[in-house]
């Protein structure tokens, strides 16, 4: 089976995907960004000692991620503007002391919400960086990846170690 880039027309020009013939279905996507903070910064956040001028770090990142997901089509060329049914950001710290930012977006639509989930997780990670950079610039946004999606042509679920 030959795959083609979906946003390139027959003449090789950029083109928005025509979703008009597709049927609506419930679609979800979850993306994850991982942020590595210096131990002293992470300890201050976890003990609730850091309240920067912009507000509590993780709560502000949650708001920023949701706002970012809602603005995805303004940021990514040819991305369909979507009215999300739901968007949720969860922030936790794993046993490796990595900050895990999961963004789950959902909609009943003719197109998926992977880009919204990826954008939400990324904007939340950037917000954590922005709010903590006064304490240290030794912050790494390690990765952002799609964890799962449902609806549309096929579902996808990444293995936890993948």
| Cα angle, residue 86 at apex, residues 139 and 111 outer, rounded to 5° | 95
Going by their DSSP bridges, the two strands 156-157 and 55-56 should be labelled as unpaired
Q: Is 129 in a helix, a strand, or coil? A: helix
- Would you list the DSSP string of 55-122? EEHHHHHHHHHHHHHHTHHHHSTTPPP---SEEEEEEEE-TTSPEEEEEEEEEEESS--HHHHHHHHH
For residue 1, pLDDT over 50 is answered with: no
CA quadruple 54, 32, 100, 121: dihedral, nearest 10: 0
Which residues are CB-contacts of 39 (< 8 A; sequence separation ≥ 6)? 97
Is 3.40.47.10 the CATH number for 25-151?
no
Least confident span in 20-29, 47-56, 82-91, 124-133? 47-56
Asked if 90 is an active-site residue, the reply is: no
| Nearest residue to 97 (alpha-carbon basis) of 51, 45, 133, 50 | 45
Question: In terms of pTM, does the model score above 0.85?
Answer: yes
Average pLDDT, integer, range 74-93: 95
Average pLDDT estimate for 70-96: 96
* Domain segments of the chain as ranges: 25-151
Instruction: Check: CB of residue 136 under 8 Å from CB of residue 41.
Output: yes
What are the pLDDT digits (tens) for 30-79? 999 999 999 999 888 877 655 555 568 999 999 999 999 999 999 999 99
3-class DSSP assignment, residue 26? strand
Residue from 48, 95, 102, 130 carrying the catalytic annotation: 130
- Select from 103, 86, 94 the least CA-distant residue to 26: 86
């Amino acid at each position: 089976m030959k795959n083609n880039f979906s946003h390139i027309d027959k003449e090789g020009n950029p083109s928005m995907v025509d979703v008009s013939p597709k049927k609506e279905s419930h679609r979800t996507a979850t993306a994850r960004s991982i942020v590595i903070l210096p131990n002293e910064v992470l300890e201050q956040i976890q003990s609730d000692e850091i309240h920067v001028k912009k507000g509590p770090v993780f709560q502000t990142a949650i708001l920023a991620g949701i706002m970012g997901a809602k603005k995805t089509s303004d940021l990514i060329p040819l991305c369909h503007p979507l009215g999300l049914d739901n968007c949720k950001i969860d922030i936790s710290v794993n046993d490796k002391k990595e900050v895990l930012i999961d963004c789950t977006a959902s909609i009943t639509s003719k197109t998926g919400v992977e880009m919204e989930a990826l954008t939400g997780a990324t904007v939340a990670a950037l917000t954590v960086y922005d709010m903590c950079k006064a304490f240290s610039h030794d912050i790494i946004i390690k990765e952002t990846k799609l964890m799962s999606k449902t609806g549309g042509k096929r579902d996808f679920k990444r293995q936890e170690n993948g």
